[in-house]
Structure 1
Amino acid sequence: MKDAFGAPQSLLILGGTSEIGLATARRLIARRTRTVFLAGRPSEALDTAAEGLRALGADVHTVPFDALDPASHEVTLGKVFAEGDVDMVLLAFGVLGDQARDEQEPLSAVHVAQVNYTGAVSASLVCATALQNQGHGSFVVLSSVAGERARRVNFIYGSSKAGLDAFAQGLGDALHGAGVHVMVVRPGFVRTRMTAGLPEAPLATTPEAVAAAIESGLRRRAETVWVPGTLRVVMSALRHAPRPLFRRLPV
């Protein structure tokens, strides 16, 4: 259960090697989180991430999880909830893809869609049902400002995030009144391994800044969080820009 201050005592991260996910875990462990489940493909990176969190004093478990294997999600994630109540689930996995390549290789584009949307939908529904059954908990979904309006430079990734964003908002509406808090987080350009080597966009941020925004959003029980907050205004302007103008913008 969450403590008297509303901080989660147990955390499940879907995408256990995510830099944003791990930054969030470190921040929450420094508060009151004591049990962490890192779900991801078995790897040295996953084990290293777990050891790093254990060094901070948390009880950390690794969970084999593959976004591309939805048939396994119910059993795999069900085992986590069978261990006891989970106060917070953070969906933090995703792939950026390579827009130029993916346009030429449809199967590569499908891979992006399957990880970012299909896999996320499957895992989300399994976790949402478990949270609803236990009667409490927060479900946090890492979306992206790229989903606000598909742009020429990354419309494959952007469309997958747009789908996930719409799904998560609908999920939040469906769970309203069930004791489950759903929060959609929309970061801009985040300096991570995934974006290494790419031209840095304006208002770029860090995993630690996103983690701080997540923690703040949890306390406020926010439904949507922009990181940084200025992007709410920027993306609103882009979303409503007439298409002829939008096509001329260097975005």
Structure 2
Amino acid sequence: MKDAFGAPQSLLVLGGTSEIGLATARRLIGRRTRRVHLAGRPSPALDAAARELGALGAEVGTVAFDALDPDTHEEVLGKVFAEGDIDAVLLAFGVLGDQARDEQEPSAAVRVAQTNYAGAVSAALVCGAALQRQGHGSLVVLSSVAGERARRSNFIYGSSKAGLDAFTQGLGDALHDDGIHVMVVRPGFVHTKMTAGLPPAPLSTTPDAVAAAIETGLRRRTEIVWVPWGLRPLMAGVRLLPRRVFRSITL
């Protein structure tokens, strides 16, 4: 259960090597989280992440999890919940893809969609049902401002995040009456290994800033979080642009 200050005592990170996921775990461990499960494909990086978080004072375990193998999600994640209640689940996996290549290789584009949307839908439904059965908890899903309006430069990635964002809001409505908190997080351009080499967009941010926003959102039971907050009015304007104008803008 969450403590008196609203901090989760147990955390499951789907995407256990995600820089945002790990930044969030570090921040929550500093605020009383004592049990962390890192779910991802087995790798030296996943093991190193577990050791790092363990050194901060948490009990940390790794879970073999593959977003692209939804047939295993119920069994794999079910075992995690069987070990004890989970106060917060952070769905942090995703791939950016390569827009130019993916347009020429439909199978690569499908892989982006399967990871970012289909795999996330499967994992979120499994975790949502588990939280519902235990009667409490939060599900945090990393979306993106790229899903607010698909851009020419990354519409494959953006469309996958748009679908995930809409799905998560609907799941939040479905679980609301059961007391389950579902939060959509919409970061802008985040400086990570995934975006290395790309020109930063306006109002870019960092994993630590996203983690701070997630922590605040968990405490306040916020449903939609923008990182940074200034993206909210900016994207409201972008959504209202006539298509011919939007098409002419290089973003």
Shorter-chain TM-score: which interval? over 0.9
Q: How big is each residue's C-alpha offset from its partner over 1:17-62, in whole Å with a ceiling of 9 and x where there is no partner? A: 0000000000000011000000000000000000000000000000
Q: How big is each residue's C-alpha offset from its partner over 1:127-167, in whole Å with a ceiling of 9 and x where there is no partner? A: 00000000000000000000000000000000000000000
DSSP-derived class of the 1:153 partner = coil
User: How far off its partner does 1:250 sit?
Assistant: 1.6
Tell me which residue corresponds to 1:107: 107
DSSP-derived class of the 2:3 partner = coil
Any stretches of 5+ residues in structure 1 without a counterpart?
none
Quote the Cα distance in structure 1 between the aligned partners of 2:166 and 2:180: 17
Tell me which residue corresponds to 2:207: 207
Which runs of structure 2 are paired with 1:1-251 in the superposition (5 Å)?
1-251=1-251
User: In structure 2, what residue type is equivalent to 1:213?
Assistant: A
Quote the Cα distance in structure 1 between the aligned partners of 2:55 and 2:190: 26
DSSP-derived class of the 2:52 partner = helix
TM (norm. structure 2) is: 0.99
User: How far off its partner does 1:190 sit?
Assistant: 0.2
The percent of aligned pairs where both chains have the same amino acid is 78
TM (norm. structure 1) is: 0.99
Quote the Cα distance in structure 1 between the aligned partners of 2:124 and 2:33: 21
DSSP-derived class of the 1:172 partner = helix
DSSP-derived class of the 1:226 partner = strand
Q: How big is each residue's C-alpha offset from its partner over 1:226-246, in whole Å with a ceiling of 9 and x where there is no partner? A: 000000011111111110111
User: In structure 2, what residue type is equivalent to 1:130?
Assistant: A
User: How far off its partner does 1:249 sit?
Assistant: 1.3
Could you tell which deviates more after superposition, 237-246 or 15-24?
237-246
Quote the Cα distance in structure 2 between the aligned partners of 1:60 and 1:208: 20
Any stretches of 5+ residues in structure 2 without a counterpart?
none
User: In structure 2, what residue type is equivalent to 1:59?
Assistant: E
DSSP-derived class of the 1:117 partner = helix
DSSP-derived class of the 1:190 partner = coil
User: In structure 2, what residue type is equivalent to 1:140?
Assistant: V
In the TM superposition, structure 1's runs of 4+ consecutive aligned residues that sit over 6 Å from their partners are none
Quote the Cα distance in structure 2 between the aligned partners of 1:177 and 1:32: 27
